[in-house]
Amino acid sequence: MSSVRTRRQAAAVSTPKTPSPAPRGQVAMNGNGPVHGSAKGEKENIFLFWPNIIGYSRIFLAFASLYYMPLHPRTCSALYSVSCLLDALDGYAARYFEQSTKFGAVLDMVTDRCTTACLLVFLSSAWPRWALLFQGLISLDMASHYVHMYATLSMGGSDHSHKSVDKSRSWLLNLYYTNKTVLFLCCALNETFFIALYLLSFSSPLLSPSLLQVTKPDNATGTLHAGSSSPSGLAASLLMNPYSAGALELARANKMDSFWPWVIAGVSLPVMTIKQILNVVQLVKASRWLAEGDREARRAAGLPRSRKTK
> Would you call 294 a catalytic residue per the annotation?
no
Among 56, 76, 59, 79, which residue's Cα sits nearest to residue 122?
Answer: 76
Distance CA 236, CA 193 (A): 31
Any residues with CB less than 8 A from the CB of 252 and at least 6 apart, and which?
201, 202, 203, 204, 207
C-alpha distances out from residue 247 to 43, 204, 239, Å: 50, 14, 6
Helix (H, G, I), strand (E, B) or coil at 27: strand
CA angle 197, 198, 200 (to 5 degrees): 60
CA angle 149, 151, 157 (to 5 degrees): 90
If DSSP states are collapsed to H, E and C, what string results for 143-161?
HHHHHHHHHHHHHHCCCCC
How many other CB atoms are there within 10 angstroms of residue 84's CB atom? 23
Candidates 87, 90, 108, 112; catalytic one: 112
How many other CB atoms are there within 10 angstroms of residue 265's CB atom? 19
By annotation, the residues acting in catalysis are: 112
